[in-house]
Structure 1
Amino acid sequence: MTHPLDREIVRLAFPAFLALVAEPVFLLSDAAIVGHLGTPELAGLGIAAVVLQTVVGLCVFLAYGTTSSVARHLGAGDLRGALAQGVDGLWLAVLIGAVATVLGLLLTDPLVGAFGAGAEVTEHAATYLRIAVLGITPLLVMLAATGVLRGLQDTRTPLVVAVAGTVLNVLLNLLLVYGVPVDVMAFDGLGIAGSALGSVLAQLASAAALATVVVRGARREGSPLSPDRAGITAAARAAVALVIRTLTLRGALLVTTYAVVLAARSGPDGLGGDDSVSVATHQLAFTIWTFQAFALDAIAIAAQALTGRQLGAGDVDATRAVTKRMILWGIWGGVVLGVLTLVTAPFVGALFTGDQSVRDLLVPVLVVVAIGQPLSGLVFVLDGVLIGAGDGTYLAKAGLVMFAVYAPVVLAVAALVGGLVWVWIVFTVVLMGSRAILLVRRERGDAWLVTGIRSVA
């Protein structure tokens, strides 16, 4: 690390990466504990988790938008205003969470029933979801508070809370799912309902810890703690663009999954026409790609915080310098991940499956993943830079263009050519490539370099 910015990038990115990894560990621990109850319970958890992750995933703007606005105030030397923006974000999270919780309780049965699973699985899913929706508000408060702390250039506190929350979740799940067999304090487990309750309690504790840090800071600086209608309205209005951006990305991933199924039927990579081989291989490849995305997203989080701070300070030259350095970090991070993927491609499949057909198909798919990682690094970082700049409107428009280009191409290739490898080639070249072109084009211009304190647009 020879560049003056490198130490600061590592200080922000490394804890952010570990905190991001804590999230799938949280989910995996739930799956492992519930899985020992039985297959129907595990399937029910899977259905309920999809619903919850969709709701929370669409609200990621609570972290991204808050990071940008808080960092701008910090860069302008207005710590009081930064914390006031953070408190507005917390109130917005509470309002959205309250609405989502009520809707979740009212729509639990229709939501889980829409998956068309068997009666036993649907019953377990409904049981879990009916309790787990009570954790939506704490989850959204966690997102908003994490965004505040990132904007304040603090990624260590969210890491500590994420790790503590994950440990607490495991302990509560074990206790509430299986109970305590000791006579003195005997307690019968609650089964899958206990898992949902344990997760809600862990989420509530984590949200309280993060919110307490923000509130203490606000009190120290004299920032108001009461709801500010204008601030909350402005934050909600700014969130629309980031929601559209998120929807286009999730839509593209859903289309990719559909294309995999379509490609398997059209030309299943010469594996005897077994659709399940292609679908299973895609799931493994996407899991690996997603884990690597956490590392690149951590760099993007650092880019959000640093970009917002420099623009808030009115320093365009420093913003350009930060962006240039972050791009190098993203590309070289992608190169490192790509090399690791190439080296491990022939062996990593054995960690997940004993099916030799899946292992064989996974190798060429991971080669495509490896080649595309430097491009992914560029995309993730520039996405973070523009989010940090509050350029949400452009990101929303770029997302719509990307989806309009990618969806017909990947579906056409899947139907006419077939084969999982070709789907991943299109994913890398067209989806990530179109995003890169749109983001680089924006970064080279000056329209996003709006300095001073402003609301995220």
Structure 2
Amino acid sequence: MLSLALPALVVLAAEPLYLLVDTAVIGNLGTVPLAGLAVGGGLLAWAAALLNFLAYGTTARAARRAGAGDRAGAVAEGVQATWLALGLGVGVLAAFQLLAGPLTRLLAGGGGAVAEAGEQWLRIASLGAPLLLVSLAGNGWLRGVQELRRPVRFVLAGSLASLVLCPLLVHTAGLGLPGSAVANVVGQGLTAALFVRALVREGADWRPRLRSVRAQLVLGRDLLLRAAVLQVAFLVAAGVAARAGAAELGAHQIALQLFFFLALVLDAYAIAAQTLVGHALGAGRVAEARLTAVRVARWGLLTGIGVGALLLALRGLLVPLFTGDPAVREQAELVWWFLAGFQPLAGVVFALDGVLMGAGDVGYLRTVTIGAAVVGFLPLSLLAGPLDLGLAGIWTGLTLFIALRLVGVLVRVAGNRWLTAPATVGA
């Protein structure tokens, strides 16, 4: 499990780590560029997270095929997922080019400097949407065949390119916030090209097969709906933070990027569990799948405790790295307690999410996630404005969201129904 989790950790952490550096680089330009990045980056992240089934759904399907001894079928899943990613990516690009202005103004609470900065960033960064989705599909099939070292090289190459270009374009070349978007697109292009080359070297048949794409969409349907509700909840929270003030929005951006970064770090166990459970159930080894669930939950809990303790210990050092604005620092220190406090819960939740995805039990995951968002996250976020709860109200809602999901996945994994979930592998 650890041999799969460690490479997955590098892949998962590379992009959000770049975004953290990007946030720090832009944060030193001032509050308005940072808030603009929060608006534009939040919209692009929303689209990527919404379509993340291209990675997780492809992993589940490819792992089942690989577990049954059909590597060619697993690679074929990657080809069809790549075609699907290109089609969806072009659609996302077109939508953002048409609607960047209205969307950023809506999220920023009207016109003004923040909305203008967010629109400028989003119009450039959205050019990388098809490239980003192709990389998600590539990660999916390679995880499914238990090859996680190549994705490490591919993702690191793109992230390092962006990492070098970002400060050069933003500060040295004087492009400011648009320089960040350009660096993003260049890195995504390099990573996508490497994933496509990996498929070409497999000698796969590149003809689009509508039946296979349709089968992937059936599996992706529940993951898509789950992601849609989740991302709407995060967008609502960002909108409430934007209306509270630029300092609150800037602090929310810093804490949220850290949350996403740490979520993906903890998700390394989920990737390992998804691959191992898919292989085990594909080969009919039910006891092995259950043992994987127990082990991955234990590792998720212990890692979450360690991450939370580290966040608290380094709070005084980390917060100043992202902003020199005293008002933003004050708000960031407030939400830091929430961020550190729920890490142990999140470690178990994300790990067991991977178990259920590997088993194909995505319908249950959809229901639990939507229920937790509707009952916990959304109400407290919406009430934070009229009740003047500020970021404390928003992040209390996020904590409750994690806690409710924890109860749901623990109850499911303790039973047997997830072991007989549909394989969802089509021709």
Smaller-chain TM-score range?
Answer: 0.7 to 0.9
Higher deviation after alignment, 137-146 or 443-452: 443-452
The counterpart of 2:224, out of the listed 234, 243, 247, is: 243
Residues in 1 aligned to 2:309 and 2:39: alpha-carbon distance in whole angstroms: 35
Q: Alignment partner of 2:418: what SS?
A: coil
Aligned AA (2:99) = L
The 1:95/1:302 distance shift into structure 2, 3 A limit, reads: same
Aligned AA (1:118) = G
Aligned partners of 1:314 and 1:451 also within 8 Å: no
Higher deviation after alignment, 112-121 or 90-99: 112-121
Matched, 1:67 2:38: no
The counterpart of 1:427, out of the listed 393, 398, 412, is: 398
Matched, 1:443 2:424: no
The 1:141/1:310 distance shift into structure 2, 3 A limit, reads: same
Residues in 1 aligned to 2:247 and 2:421: alpha-carbon distance in whole angstroms: 52
Counterpart for residue 329 of structure 1: 299
Matched, 1:99 2:91: yes
Q: Map of 1:210-289 to 2, 5 A cutoff?
A: 210-217=195-202, 219=203, 223-257=204-238, 282-289=252-259
Shift of 1:171: 5.0
Q: Alignment partner of 2:419: what SS?
A: coil
Aligned partners of 1:312 and 1:451 also within 8 Å: no
Residues in 2 aligned to 1:361 and 1:204: alpha-carbon distance in whole angstroms: 36
Q: Which has the larger radius of gyration?
A: 1
Q: Map of 1:1-400 to 2, 5 A cutoff?
A: 9-28=1-20, 47-112=39-104, 114=106, 115=108, 116-118=110-112, 122=116, 128-171=121-164, 196-217=181-202, 219=203, 223-257=204-238, 282-345=252-315, 348-352=318-322, 365-400=335-370
Shift of 1:119: 7.1
Aligned AA (1:447) = R
The 1:103/1:29 distance shift into structure 2, 3 A limit, reads: same
Residues in 1 aligned to 2:241 and 2:170: alpha-carbon distance in whole angstroms: 36
The 1:235/1:431 distance shift into structure 2, 3 A limit, reads: same
Q: Alignment partner of 2:420: what SS?
A: coil
Residues in 1 aligned to 2:248 and 2:239: alpha-carbon distance in whole angstroms: 12
Aligned AA (1:427) = L
Aligned AA (1:309) = H
Shift of 1:76: 0.9
Aligned partners of 2:38 and 2:250 also within 8 Å: no
Aligned AA (2:379) = P
The alignment's TM-score, normalised by the length of structure 1, stands at: 0.79
How many positions carry a matched residue from both structures? 423
Shift of 1:370: 3.6
The 1:47/1:426 distance shift into structure 2, 3 A limit, reads: closer
The 1:89/1:367 distance shift into structure 2, 3 A limit, reads: same
Aligned partners of 1:278 and 1:420 also within 8 Å: yes
Residues in 2 aligned to 1:11 and 1:446: alpha-carbon distance in whole angstroms: 27
Aligned partners of 1:345 and 1:367 also within 8 Å: no
The 1:170/1:376 distance shift into structure 2, 3 A limit, reads: closer
Q: Alignment partner of 2:342: what SS?
A: helix
Name stretches of at least 5 consecutive residues in structure 2 with no aligned partner: none
Identity of matched residues, %: 39
Aligned AA (2:231) = R
Aligned AA (2:296) = M
The alignment's TM-score, normalised by the length of structure 2, stands at: 0.84
Higher deviation after alignment, 12-21 or 129-138: 129-138
Aligned partners of 2:35 and 2:253 also within 8 Å: no
Aligned partners of 2:359 and 2:419 also within 8 Å: yes
Aligned Cα root-mean-square deviation (Å): 3.7
Residues in 1 aligned to 2:126 and 2:325: alpha-carbon distance in whole angstroms: 37
Aligned AA (2:224) = V
